[in-house]
Amino acid sequence: KKLGIALVGLGGYSTHQLAPALQETKNCYLAGIVTGTPSKAETWKAKYNIPDKNIYNYQNFDQIAENKDIDIVYVVLPNAMHAEYTIRAAKAGKHVICEKPMATSVEDAQRMLEACRQNKVQLAIGYRLHYDPFHQRVMELGQKQVFGKVKSIRAHNGFTMGGPGSWRLDRERSGGGPLMDMGIYCVQGACYTLGKAPVAVTAKFGEVTRPELFSEVEQSISWRMEFEDGVIAECNSSYAEREDFLEGKAEKGWWRLGPSFGYEGKQGETSQGRMNYPNIFEQAWQMDGQAESFRNNNSSIVPGEMGLRDVRILMAIYESARSGGKRVPISYK
């Protein structure tokens, strides 16, 4: 049986990526929605044929516990709201997919994991690139040392923020600027290239050239992650510049993805030539993979624990940047 997914938060990502992807999935389908906007409920109900009993708002959301059609709650809200809705979904006995970044503090991420444990539901993070063939090849090149030991990594990810008004510029809802939103892909990219997490980070905030937008969160940030065997990853993330690549250098070769982190148009090259992989509908593959792991009671390849690990790294990067570039060791205990 296909598992029923309820999307919580019908913003850009749910509307343009997840709902269309759920028209193509084999292991799961769009069974319900949770929205605070009645007009969206009407539009989605008509477009996707969603029965009234599977439509919730933020007040009556907890009643989803009694709804047998819904197996998975997918939290697609501003970052700071991930914790509350993941915990409420877990208490309702539903498996959870939570968008990245998992949370805006280590404590929230820990509470989310604990709630899922206590309620015996699984938690996966919306890390779609783990299902993408270009990124899977990078994991293989790095972790299996196809070109020998990895020596260094570089990753940049950013876009140009339009005008004001987005929750992404509001610290209370975003937890931070481009690092939380886009830089997390660089953190992920370095970790899955090596199959390891960094032992320490150093970081620096970039210049603010648009103070009217960036009064609460950073405009850009650059950081360096240090891994246990001395491998260094140099990263940058920005809301003022479009940038998008992931590179690795190893003893006997190199690779580069660029565009790398967006939804489509990925390209890749290695020291041996072009990478030839199809551009897939990543979100469909991701949700099918996650639904299958929930159904089989296997742990996901992108579990909540990985989300917590990454929140620890993001928080250490901010700590270093705030201190003016002090080296911050990271403990994962």
Active site residues: 100, 185
For residue 286, the minimal CB distance to ligand NAD (Å) is 8
Is 171 near ligand NAD (CB under 6 A)? no
**Which amino acid is residue 146, in one-letter code?**
V
Instruction: Tell me the site size for ligand NAD, rule CB under 6 A.
Output: 18
Is residue 199 helix, strand or coil?
coil
Q: How far is CA 271 from the centre of its chain?
A: 29
For residue 301, the minimal CB distance to ligand NAD (Å) is 15
The Cα 315–Cα 294 span in angstroms is 29
Binder among 71, 99, 218, 288 for ligand NAD (CB under 6 A): 99
Under 8 Å CB-to-CB from 136, ≥6 apart: which residues? 130
Is 20 near ligand NAD (CB under 6 A)? no
For residue 255, the minimal CB distance to ligand NAD (Å) is 22
User: What does the DSSP 8-state code read for residue 186?
Assistant: H
> Which one of the spans 4-12, 102-110, 139-147, 298-306 is the region binding ligand NAD (CB under 6 A)?
4-12
Helical pair 82-91 and 106-118, crossing angle rounded to 10 deg: 10
Residue number with CB closer to ligand NAD (77 or 201): 77
User: What does the DSSP 8-state code read for residue 229?
Assistant: T
Question: Per-residue contact track with ligand NAD, 236 to 265, x per CB under 6 A?
Answer: ------------------------------
For residue 188, the minimal CB distance to ligand NAD (Å) is 11
Binder among 3, 5, 7, 10 for ligand NAD (CB under 6 A): 10
Footprint on residues 25-54 left by ligand NAD (CB under 6 A): 36
**Which amino acid is residue 215, in one-letter code?**
S
Is 159 near ligand NAD (CB under 6 A)? no
Q: Are 93 and 303 in contact (CB under 8 A)?
A: no
Q: Are 225 and 179 in contact (CB under 8 A)?
A: no
Footprint on residues 56-85 left by ligand NAD (CB under 6 A): 76-79
Alpha helices in the chain (DSSP H): 12-13, 19-21, 38-48, 82-91, 106-118, 133-143, 171-174, 178, 184-194, 282-295, 304-322
For residue 120, the minimal CB distance to ligand NAD (Å) is 25
Q: How many C-beta atoms lie closer than 10 Å to residue 248's C-beta?
A: 26
Is 100 near ligand NAD (CB under 6 A)? yes
Question: Per-residue contact track with ligand NAD, 114 to 153, x per CB under 6 A?
Answer: ------------x-x-------------------------
Q: Are 259 and 182 in contact (CB under 8 A)?
A: no
Is 11 near ligand NAD (CB under 6 A)? yes
Is 9 near ligand NAD (CB under 6 A)? yes
Binder among 1, 12, 165, 264 for ligand NAD (CB under 6 A): 12
Under 8 Å CB-to-CB from 99, ≥6 apart: which residues? 13, 74, 75, 76, 77, 79, 82, 125, 126
Binder among 171, 173, 196, 204 for ligand NAD (CB under 6 A): 173
For residue 228, the minimal CB distance to ligand NAD (Å) is 28
The Cα 29–Cα 4 span in angstroms is 5
For residue 152, the minimal CB distance to ligand NAD (Å) is 26
Is 307 near ligand NAD (CB under 6 A)? no
The Cα 165–Cα 212 span in angstroms is 11
Contact residues for ligand NAD, defined by CB under 6 A: 9-14, 36, 76-79, 99-100, 126, 128, 167, 173, 181
